[in-house]
């Protein structure tokens, strides 16, 4: 390399080194000005200041008025925990009836219409039947035979007293009377099934028609016959339900059984009408699982039954499973950020501090809370406008990070 080139390279190196020296010297001076511990302390103080600032919101009176911010004192309330279950409205078997006839006959009269409310024993229809005619005739014949058998026994007893007849003849007369009484009694009970009273029944009372009556009171919702039709025995002619006996069948799964007891209150809504709430009380719990699922049925009796509630409607229900006295705030006072829950406590006249809480039971518009820090007994909690305060904090945090 020539002396000229070497001189040029050395000059360039010296120039570049001279440019770097001020920057390095400046860095050394800055580091020496602050000890390591002082830097850490300063950083922590800065972070702490930011956290305090981020956990508190200060508003002007105009802002407070504009958002409708309201505060209220902390309260202790007795709140009930609830268990959410599904169910159906059901009727017990004794309050629903399929009405048929024990004897075939031709429909001569239909005295009711679908949707009509009927009373127990009310005549629903009339049927004409030759078989019914024969039943009445047989009863009258059995009654006549009974009279004959009684007279024959009296005569045989008199003859036996005078030793005119044999003991065996008297015993036969007694047996014949017992048989006649049994037959007459059986025929009377058959007439009773068709609404005919046997006492005082004579040939003048014979009729070709008999009535089909309602076995229970309730609403008639199906008529399965027409005029002139032949009604066969044991086939349904009418359906009646007494919806005054409606109750709830609640499906309680195995994991929730330990929480359910008789006497617990139930609040429920119809599946397609969440705005109409009703109350009930559990009065019985089945002691075996339902077929095909690990669940039992809990039965609840309703307090009030209106005309819109019908058997087999699906419902959504909440069982009140426990009651505890706890510090509580209105549901609107609690705000969430991720999995964390907070309330805002009035710190100064126009300043509101964010306080983290653990939430518990919710009932009747209130939720129990356990604050993560001690609050004064007279602390005021924001019960309207909490979400606005949260948004202000979130907005402030976003601007700071930016």
Q: For 304-317, how does the pLDDT look when each residue is reduced to its tens digit (9 = 90+)?
A: 888 889 999 999 99
Contact of 90 with 246, CB cutoff 8 Å = yes
pLDDT at 50 over 90: no
350 with 300, same domain: the answer is no
- pLDDT the model gives residue 245: 92
Mean pLDDT of the chain: 84
Q: Rounded to an integer, what distance in angstroms lies between the CA atom of residue 219 and that of residue 112? A: 11
pLDDT band at 208; cut points 50, 70, 90: very high
Intra-chain end-to-end CA distance of the chain, in Å: 56
- pLDDT the model gives residue 397: 57
- Of 241, 274, 298, which one is at a domain's C-terminal end? 241
Strands (E), 19-90: 56-58, 70-73, 75-90
pLDDT at 377 over 60: yes
pLDDT at 115 over 70: yes
117 with 233, same domain: the answer is yes
Q: In this prediction, what percent of the chain has a pLDDT beyond 90?
A: 63
Mean per-residue pLDDT for 51-75? 85
Higher pLDDT, 367 or 38: 367
Residue 306, in any domain of the structure: yes
pLDDT at 44 over 80: no
pLDDT at 61 over 80: yes
Number of domains in the chain: 4
333 with 311, same domain: the answer is no
Closest CA to 344 of 50, 51, 54, 55: 55
39 with 158, same domain: the answer is no
H/E run at residue 250: strand 247-253
159 with 144, same domain: the answer is yes
Sequence-distant (≥ 6) Cβ neighbours of residue 323 within 8 angstroms = 78, 79, 80, 81
Higher pLDDT, 398 or 134: 134
- Of 290, 323, 356, which one is at a domain's C-terminal end? 323
Find residue 49's DSSP bridge partners. Answer: none
44 with 28, same domain: the answer is yes
Per residue in 116-164, pLDDT (tens digit) is 999 999 999 999 999 999 999 999 999 999 999 999 999 999 898 888 8
Contact of 182 with 190, CB cutoff 8 Å = no
pLDDT band at 34; cut points 50, 70, 90: very low
Q: With the C-alpha atoms ordered 348, 349, 351, 356, is the resulting torsion angle positive or negative?
A: positive
Q: What are phi and psi of 141, to 5 degrees?
A: -65, -40
Residue 302, in any domain of the structure: yes
255 with 272, same domain: the answer is yes
Where is average pLDDT lowest: 40-44, 192-196, 300-304, 372-376? Answer: 40-44
Where is average pLDDT lowest: 33-47, 200-214, 224-238? Answer: 33-47
Task: Pick the most confident of 11-25, 27-41, 70-84.
Answer: 70-84
- Of 263, 296, 323, which one is at a domain's C-terminal end? 323
Residue 54, in any domain of the structure: no
Higher pLDDT, 306 or 65: 65
Contact of 180 with 149, CB cutoff 8 Å = yes
- pLDDT the model gives residue 40: 37
The residue with tokens 């048989």 is 179
Residue 32, in any domain of the structure: yes
H/E run at residue 367: strand 366-371
Range of the domain at 344: 59-79+324-401
Residue 380, in any domain of the structure: yes
Higher pLDDT, 154 or 6: 154
């Amino acid at each position: 390399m020539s002396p000229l080139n070497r001189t040029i390279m050395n000059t360039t190196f010296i120039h570049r080194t001279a440019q770097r020296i001020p920057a390095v010297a400046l860095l050394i001076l800055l580091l020496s000005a602050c000890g390591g511990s002082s830097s850490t302390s300063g950083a922590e103080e800065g972070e702490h200041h930011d956290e305090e600032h981020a956990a508190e919101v200060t508003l002007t009176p105009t802002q407070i008025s504009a958002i409708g911010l309201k505060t209220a004192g902390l309260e202790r309330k007795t709140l009930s925990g609830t268990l959410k279950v599904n169910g159906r409205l059901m009727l017990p078997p004794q309050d629903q009836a399929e009405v048929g006839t024990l004897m075939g006959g031709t429909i001569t009269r239909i005295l009711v219409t679908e949707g009509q409310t009927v009373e127990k024993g009310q005549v629903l229809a009339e049927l004409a039947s030759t078989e019914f005619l024969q039943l009445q005739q047989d009863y009258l014949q059995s009654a006549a035979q009974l009279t004959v058998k009684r007279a024959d026994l009296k005569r045989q007893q008199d003859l036996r007293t005078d030793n005119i007849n044999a003991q065996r003849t008297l015993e036969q007369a007694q047996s014949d009377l017992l048989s006649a009484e049994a037959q007459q009694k059986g025929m009377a009970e058959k007439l009773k099934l068709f609404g005919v009273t046997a006492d005082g029944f004579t040939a003048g009372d014979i009729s070709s028609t008999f009535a089909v009556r309602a076995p229970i009171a309730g609403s008639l919702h199906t008529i399965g016959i027409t005029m002139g039709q032949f009604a066969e025995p044991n086939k349904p002619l009418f359906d009646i339900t007494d919806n005054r006996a409606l109750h709830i069948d609640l499906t309680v799964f195995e994991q929730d059984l330990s929480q359910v007891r008789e006497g617990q209150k139930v609040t429920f809504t119809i599946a397609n009408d969440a705005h109409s709430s009703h109350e009930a009380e559990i009065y019985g719990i089945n002691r075996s699982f339902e077929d095909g699922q690990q669940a039992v049925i809990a039965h609840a009796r309703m307090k009030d039954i209106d005309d819109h509630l019908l058997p087999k409607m699906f419902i959504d229900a909440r069982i009140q499973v426990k009651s505890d006295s706890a510090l509580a705030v209105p549901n609107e006072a609690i705000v969430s950020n991720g999995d964390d829950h907070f309330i805002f406590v009035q710190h100064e006249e126009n300043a509101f501090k964010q306080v983290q809480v653990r939430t518990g039971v919710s009932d009747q518009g209130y939720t129990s809370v356990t604050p993560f820090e001690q609050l004064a007994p007279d602390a005021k909690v924001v019960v309207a406008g909490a979400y606005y305060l949260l948004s202000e904090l979130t907005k402030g945090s976003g601007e700071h990070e930016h």
